[in-house]
C-alpha cells in the first residue's frame, strides 16, 4: 500500500509520481524545493503541504491538465502564477472537452497537457498559465 487517503487527496496530493500517474493524467516537471516554494519550468509555486523531507531539494512538480489555462494574448486571469508562450502540438477531441499537448517555448521545451472545452478553437501558437 502506497497511500491511504480520500479520493480527492489521492488525486490532489499523491505521495509518489507513480500514484500521481495512476489516479489521473498528470504533468510532472523537475523542480527545486526552497523555503516552502518550488521552482519549476512553469513558475515558482507555493507548496500545498509541507515537504515530507525538507532536506530533499530536487523534486517532481505535479500539475493536473485542468490547472493549465490556454489563453489568447489579450486574456490574463488574475489567478495565474506566470505566463508562457507555447506551441500546440496535438489536440484530441474528447466530447465535452479536448486534451491539448503544448510545447513550452522556453529553455527546456517541456511538453505540458491542458484541457479546453471540446468546441473551443485552439490556435497553433498560444500563451498558457498555471492556475494558482
Residue 2's pLDDT band (boundaries 50, 70, 90)? confident
Domain ranges of the chain: 7-63, 65-131
For the domain made up of 65-131, the CATH class stated in words is mainly beta
Strands (E), the chain: 27-34, 37-40, 44-46, 58-63, 68-71, 80-93, 97-104, 111-117, 125-131
Residue 132's pLDDT band (boundaries 50, 70, 90)? low
Listing DSSP states for 67-84 in one string gives: GEEEE-TT---TTEEEEE
Cβ neighbours, 10 Å, residue 32: 13
Q: Do residues 132 and 117 make contact, with C-beta atoms less than 8 angstroms apart? A: no
Residue 10's pLDDT band (boundaries 50, 70, 90)? very high
**82-106: per-residue pLDDT in tens?**
778 888 899 988 888 888 999 888 7
Q: How confident is the prediction for the chain on average, in pLDDT?
A: 82
**16-75: per-residue pLDDT in tens?**
989 999 999 998 989 998 887 888 888 888 777 766 676 778 888 888 888 888 876 566
Residue 110's pLDDT band (boundaries 50, 70, 90)? confident
Amino acid at each position: 500500500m502506497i497511500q491511504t487517503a480520500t479520493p480527492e487527496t489521492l488525486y490532489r496530493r499523491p505521495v509518489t509520481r507513480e500514484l500521481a500517474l495512476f489516479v489521473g493524467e498528470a504533468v510532472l516537471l523537475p523542480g527545486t524545493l526552497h523555503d516552502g516554494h518550488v521552482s519549476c519550468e512553469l513558475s515558482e509555486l507555493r507548496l500545498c503541504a509541507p515537504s515530507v523531507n525538507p532536506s530533499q531539494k530536487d523534486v517532481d512538480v505535479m500539475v493536473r491538465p485542468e490547472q493549465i489555462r490556454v489563453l489568447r494574448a489579450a486574456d490574463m486571469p488574475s489567478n495565474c502564477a506566470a505566463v508562457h508562450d507555447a506551441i500546440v502540438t496535438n489536440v484530441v477531441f474528447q466530447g465535452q472537452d479536448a486534451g491539448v499537448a503544448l510545447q513550452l517555448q522556453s529553455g527546456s521545451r517541456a511538453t505540458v497537457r491542458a484541457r479546453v472545452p471540446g468546441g473551443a478553437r485552439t490556435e497553433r501558437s498560444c500563451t498558457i498559465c498555471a492556475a494558482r
